[in-house]
């Protein structure tokens, strides 16, 4: 080998060593002491690709698997190193937020919201009923799979209590009190002695997902989700009470049973990536065909949201949305505030409706549009303000205190 070639090899090896060192220092991560490794996603481009799979690679030196580093600014949701977000998943979270807000603006029944008995908006609400909460649970399972239970029970439970239970107790209680003293409010809470033991309004989701996280941690502890076979058995065991409509309203256990199959489906997509050719085309095609079916036959053939067909439809739509790899900047920004929007949107949707109606505005579409916009923008402002102070960060948002020195 001549001198020029030797020099080129030396430069190349030096650069490779530096790149490896930077990668090892900045990215090497273990999923925890339970032996599940390499599940922390480092790159949204390389995670959801033509096979919905993370492209793991392994260094010749035998280091643990990594995910290749992207040149984009967005990485996995709340990456422990960068703190940046995943554009695709935040886009889907933004879509789920809009669905939830629209669903509640219209109203769960003719006794709440806009109090509609018929029309396009009522039909929209019924269609959204199949997907809006399953999508939230699916994304929760997907993201959990990137940072699974590590075996540290104290840290895991403390984090979930802070994130889910504290805001539920504080904001949920405030919601009940405000609803009780506000003229024109719908369906005021009656069973004060059972508040939060029986879930309050939409805050049932916080209780239900908390129970799911505890159940998943137990399953992880006994390694019941570590292989496709064991995972499949657990999934079937979760589907049976779902279809049988089992559960009790106490502590929102019925909600946990409802959401668990979708959470598991999301986790499966992270842990055991599905493989498709032309995934985007198939994703959009599945969405279109499912949408046509729901529009033409959904009200009469899909059954309620606890039927087997409803489970198939919602799971199919969740996976199809993931396949599309859709990334929309403004939805990504909405998704960034997804938890705050879910917790606080009802304050603003109800306030806008009551305020407009007292001002003489009765047009349904005006009430719908203003309420939907208020339900998105209002919670964003709440988080922006609450995040400035440690107490409000913890009590209202479930976030850790800021790291100000």
* Residue appearing with tokens 């900047």: 329
**Residue 251 backbone phi and psi in degrees, to 5:** 55, 20
Q: pLDDT tens-digit profile of 75-112?
A: 335 543 345 678 999 999 999 999 999 999 998 877 78
> Would you list the DSSP string of 168-203?
HHHHHHHHHHHHHHSTT-SS----GGGBTTBPPGGG
Weakest mean pLDDT among 44-58, 119-133, 231-245: 44-58
Q: pLDDT for 193-234, tens place per residue?
A: 888 899 998 999 999 999 999 999 999 999 999 999 999 999
The pLDDT value given to residue 115: 84
Q: What is the pLDDT of residue 50?
A: 37
Report which of residues 287 and 12 the model is more confident about.
287
Alpha carbon distance 231, 35 (integer Å): 16
Res. 298 pLDDT band, cuts 50 70 90: low
Calculate the average pLDDT of the chain. Answer: 80
Q: 70-74, 222-226, 277-281, 330-334: lowest mean pLDDT where?
A: 70-74
pLDDT exceeds cutoff 60 at 8: no
pLDDT tens for each residue of 223-257: 999 999 999 999 999 999 999 999 899 999 999 99
Indicate left, alpha or beta for 32 from its phi (over 0: left) and psi (-120 to 50: alpha): left
| Residue 339 backbone class (left: φ over 0; alpha: ψ -120 to 50; beta: rest) | alpha
CA 372 – CA 366 distance, rounded (Å): 10
User: Radius of gyration of the chain from Cα atoms?
Assistant: 23
Q: What kind and span of H or E run contains 341?
A: helix 338-358
Least confident of 120-134, 138-152, 239-253: 120-134
Instruction: Report the distance separating Cα 53 and Cα 58, nearest Å.
Output: 15
What whole-number percentage of the chain has pLDDT above 70? 76
The pLDDT of 156-183, averaged and rounded, is: 92
Indicate if the pLDDT at residue 265 is higher than 50. Answer: yes
Q: What is the pLDDT of residue 182?
A: 80
Q: Of 190 and 50, which is predicted with more confidence?
A: 190
Is the pLDDT at 28 greater than 60? The verdict is no
Q: Length of the chain in residues, anyone?
A: 405
The pLDDT of residue 303 is 64
Residue 283 pLDDT: 94
């Amino acid at each position: 080998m001549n001198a020029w070639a030797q020099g080129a090899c030396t430069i190349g090896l030096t650069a490779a060593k530096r790149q490896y060192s930077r990668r090892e220092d900045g990215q090497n991560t273990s999923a925890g002491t339970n032996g599940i490794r390499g599940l922390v996603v480092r790159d949204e481009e390389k995670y959801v690709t033509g096979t919905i799979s993370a492209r793991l690679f392994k260094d010749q030196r035998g280091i643990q698997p990594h995910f290749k580093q992207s040149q984009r600014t967005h990485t996995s949701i709340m990456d422990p190193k960068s703190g940046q977000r995943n554009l695709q998943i935040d886009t889907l979270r933004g879509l789920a937020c809009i669905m939830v807000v629209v669903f509640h603006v219209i109203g769960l029944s003719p006794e709440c919201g806009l109090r509609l008995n018929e029309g396009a908006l009522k039909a929209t609400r019924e269609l959204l009923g199949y997907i809006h909460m399953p999508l939230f649970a699916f994304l929760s399972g997907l993201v959990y799979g990137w940072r699974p239970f590590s075996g540290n029970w104290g840290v895991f439970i403390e984090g979930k209590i802070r994130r889910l239970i504290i805001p539920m107790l504080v904001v949920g209680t405030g919601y009940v009190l405000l609803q009780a003293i506000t003229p024109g409010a719908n369906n005021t809470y009656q069973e004060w002695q059972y508040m939060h033991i029986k879930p309050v309004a939409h805050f049932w989701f916080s209780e239900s997902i908390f129970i799911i996280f505890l159940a998943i941690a137990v399953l992880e502890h006994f390694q019941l989700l570590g292989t496709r076979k064991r995972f499949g058995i657990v999934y079937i065991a979760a589907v049976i009470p779902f279809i049988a409509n089992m559960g009790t309203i106490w502590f929102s256990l019925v909600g946990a049973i409802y959401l668990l199959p979708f959470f598991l489906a999301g986790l499966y997509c992270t842990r055991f990536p599905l493989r498709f050719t032309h995934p985007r085309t198939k994703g959009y095609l599945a969405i279109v065909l499912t949408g046509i079916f729901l529009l033409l036959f959904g009200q009469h053939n899909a059954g309620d949201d606890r039927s087997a067909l409803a489970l198939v439809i919602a799971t199919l739509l969740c996976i199809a949305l993931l396949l599309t790899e859709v990334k929309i900047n403004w939805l990504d920004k909405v998704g960034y505030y997804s938890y705050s929007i879910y917790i606080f949107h009802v304050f603003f949707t109800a306030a806008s409706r009551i305020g407009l109606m007292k001002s003489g505005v009765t047009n349904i579409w005006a009430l719908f549009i203003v309420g939907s916009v208020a339900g998105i923008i209002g919670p964003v402002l709440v988080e922006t303000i609450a995040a400035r102070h440690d107490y409000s960060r913890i009590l209202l948002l479930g976030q850790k205190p800021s790291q100000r020195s």
